[in-house]
Chains A and B, each alone.
Chain A
Amino acid sequence: MDIVSMLEDAIGKEKILADNASLYSYGFDASIHHAIPSVVVTPRSEEDVIEIIKIAHEHAIPVVARGAGTALSGQAVPIKGGIILDMAAMNKIKEIKIENFYCRVEPGVVYGELNRQLAKYGFFFPPSPGSGDVCTIGGMIATNASGMRAIKYGATRDYVLGLRAVFPPGKAYALGSSTLKNSSGYQIERLLAGSEGTLGVITEATIKIIPLPEKRGVALASFDSLHDAGKGVANIIASGIIPSALEIMDRVCIQAVNKSMNIGLPDVEAILIIEKDGKEEEIKKDIERIAEICRKSNAKDVVFTFDEKEMANLWKGRKGVLPSLSRYGENRISVSLADDMAVPISKIPDAVKAFQELSRKYGILIGTYGHAGDGNLHTKILIDPTSEEEWKKAEKLVDEIYRVVYNLGGIVSGEHGIGISKAPWMIKENIELMEKIKAAIDPKNIMNPGKMMQWKGSIITNLRYR
């Protein structure tokens, strides 16, 4: 019996997609990679997932679970073929327990929708990925996603209290708890955060939630030098103020956003967007202090606002950097390579300066932006994706970027995850233990095989561009 028939018999025909349009379209996420699965399954329950994993384990068929397909490093691309598990239909918010500071959700719940529901109670789930309007909680946990507010609130892993997950050979486990504290053995639920589907499939998550801040304020500081902007970041952090977001954008990103979004950002070398949340009187005082620190760090101009619309407009500009860069070059588009390294906060000016030098050395345009306040930088590389030569050059550039990052004490990924595109630059010492854990939990290596520590070779592989 073929795999499609087996799955149809096990969980029902209506949950199986095997037509060419489905197979092809499920072969993409938001990375540079593409591969076509053998079949797509849309489970509606944990029981469905158990049946699927049983079949996959028995017949040694790869399984790649995915949420909205917004991963930037190829985590959701089935490079070894097999089954795509689209978790989007498991999208129920099962309970919101304000008095116990948690909610319990299925993995396909969309982040933005969860926060809309939580807002009714004056609560929220803070990690704020740029793709928050579409990405799913399961995907966020699998990649340990975060975003602009990680500087104050941390990443997804910090909010995972408990999980239900299905592991090979097809058994579901309840991991962690619904308590805020847990010192009761290995916290396997937190191991799954960032595991990119290489261990098991998340079928339910219990997530810590916290009260929404009373108010927010935002300062926009313009700099004639990227280095001064980096100094501004270090000086804000050193002042003891903890912003709820501290973002940096270089000239390339500013121009890209202004060109495509008409936001009207200042035409300078770099800007910082600094957000402070909390009690109204407190944030007004802190935003003014932040503005003063920026001026002392050679900011050319600092403006600040507490108006919701103006703040939303600024954040719209910041969130639009990634896609806007795609419109920036006439013949070049932005590709997701070396795009979320993390360095110690004080090393940001050195990192940004080094990236600019490498940009000149290779003659490749790089846009640098990101969550400067927590040391997580994004670089976007603009190339002609149809040129083999440019890909080769880009790979060398990426290698040099990561060497710089390591020399500054940084790591390969702060929030997007490893997938394929960042695999060669993982810390070697971690790999050995990761492989042992993987082999113990998934002996037939069916769970998202070939990703992270298992990817060997060039990252310019399975390209979606032809």
Chain B
Amino acid sequence: MEREYNNQFALQVMKMLEKYYKEILTCTGCAFCKKACQVYLHTRKEKDSPKGRIMISYGLLTGELKEDASIIEALQKCALCRLCESVCPSMIKITDIIKAARHDLKGMLREHERIMQEIEAWNEPIKGERLLVMNSKNEIVDEIAKKLHAAAWHGGCGGAIERIGRENEMAGRLIEKIKEAGVKQVIYYEPDCKKYFEGFDAVNIVDLIESVDAGESYAVHIPYDFDGEFVEKVKKLFEKKDVEYIHECCGGRREFKEAFPEEAEKMAKDVIQKSNGRKIITISLECYEHLKKYGNVIDLLHIAKFKD
């Protein structure tokens, strides 16, 4: 049965993808990317491989392919973890191509439509000069906010909307609210949020951590798409600790796991298996909420000791 989708969100046709024409042609089709793609390794379908997504993008760009439910699904069935880029010998900007294609899609999966509505509808009062911006309703957010003498915003900054391929208007509204409330400092967690707070005194929460209480042996799950500077800071916290790092994607991004729960579950179980029985420390509450359903997991924030 064809997957349900909504095609009423008309955008400019392939405007964004056009910028990647040469980049797509540069792909030799060698398929080395397949070995790194957790989604492909589970489904073994060509359309679920990074190469498949690039070729589908090319088909849309040249007009050889017309958008339909299968095309939308294939392009959305990627967690944007970027592990494929780490093995691509032609250094193709695979995720940029996929994001551009998503941007140019007219239709949207029902699950994504619902996620967007929920994110855009999120509202809560912002009070105080210091604001902790988190994409989680987990009680740890309030605990940390209290420790940091900050107010908490639990609705995130709309990264999921951007990853789905739509304009992230939610981030703009959040900024307006922050300005109105007279917030002086924003504390964020996921490195991807940084770009929304340009011009603000924005601090990554990892910079406020003095040490971690990781006495026993751990496996730290660091998604490959997190920027290098952030990863280095996290690794510094675990210096001289008995830890190993797992860079594979757990499929925990909301827009991925809600649209593709079967693959997301398999990916999470893979990460759990790779921990070799060690307790897993996540560095994202999205990963934490997802992985904890399948194994022994805590988040960095649970074991962090903050600076005074």
Contacts and interface: CB of A to CB of B under 8 A. Distances in A.
A390 to B, nearest CB: 13
B70 A30 contact: no
A89 B74 CA distance: 19
B71 A68 contact: no
A112 B26 CA distance: 25
A40 B46 CA distance: 10
Given A21-B56, A333-B26, A131 B31 contact: yes
B44 A88 contact: yes
B28 interface: yes
Contact of A21 (B28, B47, B62): B47
Interface string A8-39: 00000000010111101111111100000000
A26 B46 contact: yes
Contacts of A24: 47, 55-56, 59, 64-65
Nearest to A385: B25
A42 interface: yes
A89 B27 CA distance: 25
Interface stretch (A50-58, A169-177, A237-245, A316-324): A316-324
B194 to A, nearest CB: 27
B74 A466 contact: no
A326 B90 CA distance: 7
A357 B177 CA distance: 68
B52 interface: yes
Interface in B103-154: none
A315 to B, nearest CB: 12
B31 A466 contact: no
B63 to A, nearest CB: 9
Contacts of A25: 46-47, 49, 51-52, 55-56, 74
A323 B89 contact: yes
A21 B91 contact: no
Nearest to B52: A25
Contacts of B73: 21
A466 B64 CA distance: 9
Nearest to A334: B28
Interface string A80-103: 000000101101000000000000
Given A24-B55, A25-B55, A30 B31 contact: yes
Contacts of B31: 30, 68-70, 131, 134
B35 A133 contact: yes
Given A19-B70, A327-B26, A260 B32 contact: no
Contacts of B65: 20, 24
Contacts of B254: none
B66 interface: yes
A56 B59 CA distance: 28
A256 to B, nearest CB: 10
Nearest to A29: B29
Classify chain B's interface size. 35 or more
A68 B34 contact: yes
A21 B70 contact: yes
Interface string B59-84: 10010111011110110000000000
Contacts of A28: 29, 51, 55
Nearest to B46: A25
Interface string A287-329: 0000000000000000000000000000000011011101100
Contacts of B25: 333, 385-386, 465
Contact of A326 (B26, B45, B47, B70): B26
Residue in A20, A22, A320, A336 whose Cβ sees the most chain B Cβ within 10 Å? A20
Contact of B32 (A29, A88, A323): A323
Given A70-B30, A70-B31, A327-B26, A21 B90 contact: no
A267 B15 CA distance: 41
Classify chain A's interface size. 35 or more
B27 to A, nearest CB: 8
Residue in B26, B29, B46, B65 whose Cβ sees the most chain A Cβ within 10 Å? B46
A31 B2 CA distance: 31
B304 interface: no
B88 A323 contact: yes
A191 interface: no
A131 B46 contact: no
A77 to B, nearest CB: 11
Given A22-B47, A89-B44, A322-B28, A112 B35 contact: yes
Contacts of B66: 20
A261 interface: yes
Interface string A334-362: 10100000000000000000000000000
A134 B46 CA distance: 13
B32 A134 contact: yes
B35 A323 contact: no
A26 B45 CA distance: 9
Contacts of A27: 55
Contacts of B89: 260-261, 319-320, 322-324
A22 B70 contact: yes
B28 A260 contact: no
Contacts of A20: 65-66, 68, 70-71
A131 B32 contact: yes
A110 B28 CA distance: 20
Residue in A17, A27, A28 whose Cβ sees the most chain B Cβ within 10 Å? A28
B91 A327 contact: yes
Contacts of B30: 30, 70, 131, 322-323
Contacts of B49: 25
Given A20-B70, A260-B90, A323-B88, A30 B29 contact: yes
A100 to B, nearest CB: 30
A142 to B, nearest CB: 16
A132 B32 CA distance: 9
A130 to B, nearest CB: 8
Nearest to A66: B46
A385 B28 CA distance: 12
A134 B91 contact: no
Contact of B91 (A91, A260, A336): A260
A27 B46 CA distance: 10
Nearest to A22: B47
Given A24-B47, A86-B44, A320-B89, 18 more contacts: A19-B68, A24-B64, A26-B47, A31-B29, A40-B46, A68-B31, A69-B46, A70-B30, A91-B44, A131-B30, A134-B35, A260-B90, A319-B89, A323-B30, A324-B89, A326-B28, A333-B26, A336-B28
Interface of A: 17, 19-22, 24-31, 40, 42, 68-70, 86, 88-89, 91, 110, 112, 131, 133-134, 260-261, 319-320, 322-324, 326-327, 333-334, 336, 385-386, 464-466
21 contacts: A17-B45, A20-B66, A21-B74, A24-B47, A24-B55, A24-B59, A24-B64, A24-B65, A26-B46, A28-B55, A30-B28, A30-B31, A31-B29, A68-B31, A70-B30, A70-B31, A86-B45, A322-B30, A324-B90, A333-B28, A466-B64
List the 4 closest A-B pairs by CB distance, nearest first: A19-B70, A323-B89, A21-B70, A25-B52
